[in-house]
Amino acid sequence: MDAPGLGPGAVTGPATHRGSGRPVAQPRPNGKRRGSCEAPRLLYCAPGMRIAFLLPDLCLGGAERATLDLAAALQRLGHAPELLLMRATGELLAEAEARFPVAALAVGRVRELARALGRTLSRNPPDALVAAMWPLTVVAPLARWRARTRCPVIVSEHGVLSRQYAGKGPAHAALLRTSLAVGLRAADARVGVAEGVVADMARLSGLPRSRMAVIPNPVPAPPPPSPDARASAEALWGTKPGGRILSVGRLKPEKNHGLLLAALARLPEDLVWRLVLAGTGPSEALLRAKAQALGLGSRVTFAGMVPDPSALYASADLFVLSSDHEGFGIVLVEALHAGLPIVATDCPTGPREVLEGGAHGRLVPPRDAAALARAIVEALAAPRPDPLPLRRRAGDFAPETVARAYLALLAASTPAEGCG
């Protein structure tokens, strides 16, 4: 079922079912606050729904982390989330198995997924299915049709697909457009984590923008770091506060940590600073080599995968994101929670929406090392910003708020058996 977008601060009549609360939309000058939850209409789902989340695996990534946080919020609201994985692998698997039912479809290729998922939906259909990331967002609605079940399907994209798959050639581009045109039409609701993601979905699929909803990734407020975590963070920094620069994320080409290294090489020689890169990925060896070639080896720490980076955020002086493109930018919200000054590239989607056009951090052009270096120097020299507005902005992405927006979509897509 498709319905118009949620108006600024709108709340419709009273709930007619036991509900989990109201989705909240924060106003912004053009009708919605940037990055706020946008749902088709404010309806309610009774607690106890079995909501399955479909993912390729649980490797450490933004979409996977967001899915677990969303599932946990739905669980707290009285629902029963579960995970369906193509492959039961990844750094987040143990955490997921400790919290939710996890089922592996045991398929290695997407072409095998429709049949395996269709069998699962036919034998034991959940009350709703949420599929994340193309091509799973195309396969899920078709598998539901194959299973002949009424289980509503929400598809959710976490990146700008036209950029993510740029350079794959005309045949791949045609496959992307054709599959989205079919798959998104067959879904009951379509979600993008940022306005730019939704605009890309509409452009590729040929569907009107009005048939999409913007619901950002959920980002929980971290608990205070333990003394042991703080001690570990201090050991990684190895220097006094004042010039501690933090960047968190997968070390892969689109994150362009090489740009950050190039910018740091331009900083004044008398400026005291140290960079901690928290994350692993395919670009790590190249980045290590570049740091050495630029003479930065003694000032850059590759921290590897840090399961809970909250102590690093709490002890840093500046957070920098240097991506060429982002779907959303969970790490920016984590930095806002810590009250950190932020410098981020104004890459397509994500940073501008999260930082509300630069109100909560400095935005610089992508792939511009000189501009990034200037912004880093200015941020380190400026007085520390008031953390309250930053944390208030981070609160707009609270998991319960995001979960209620998904429930509103389900209510608009589900027969009145538990929703309405």
- 8-state DSSP, 249: S
Contact 95, 120 (CB under 8 A): no
* 351-393 pLDDT per residue, tens: 999 999 999 999 999 999 999 999 999 999 999 999 999 999 9
Domain segments of the chain as ranges: 50-218+398-413, 227-395
| CATH number assigned to the domain with residue range 227-395, chosen from the 4 options 3.50.50.60, 3.30.960.10, 3.40.50.2000, 1.10.1490.10 | 3.40.50.2000
Q: Helices 170-186 and 136-147 sit at what angle, rounded to 10 degrees? A: 40
Amino acid, res. 353: E
DSSP strands (E only) in 300-397: 300-304, 318-321, 342-345, 362-364
Neighbouring C-beta atoms of residue 382, cutoff 10 Å: 11
From CA 394, how far away is CA 220, in angstroms rounded?
9
Tell which residue, 57, 123, 59, 48, has the closest CA to residue 81. Answer: 48
- What are the residue ranges in the chain where pLDDT is below 70? 1-44, 414-420
Fold adopted by 50-218+398-413: Rossmann fold (3.40.50)
The reported pTM is 0.85
Q: What is the DSSP string of 317-337?
A: SEEEE--S--SS-HHHHHHHH
pLDDT of 2: 37
pLDDT of 87: 96
From CA 416, how far away is CA 252, in angstroms rounded?
45
pLDDT of 35: 55
pLDDT of 413: 79
Tokens representing 257 are: 């940590």
pLDDT of 414: 60
- 8-state DSSP, 412: H
Q: Do domains 50-218+398-413 and 227-395 have the same CATH topology?
A: yes
From CA 330, how far away is CA 76, in angstroms rounded?
21
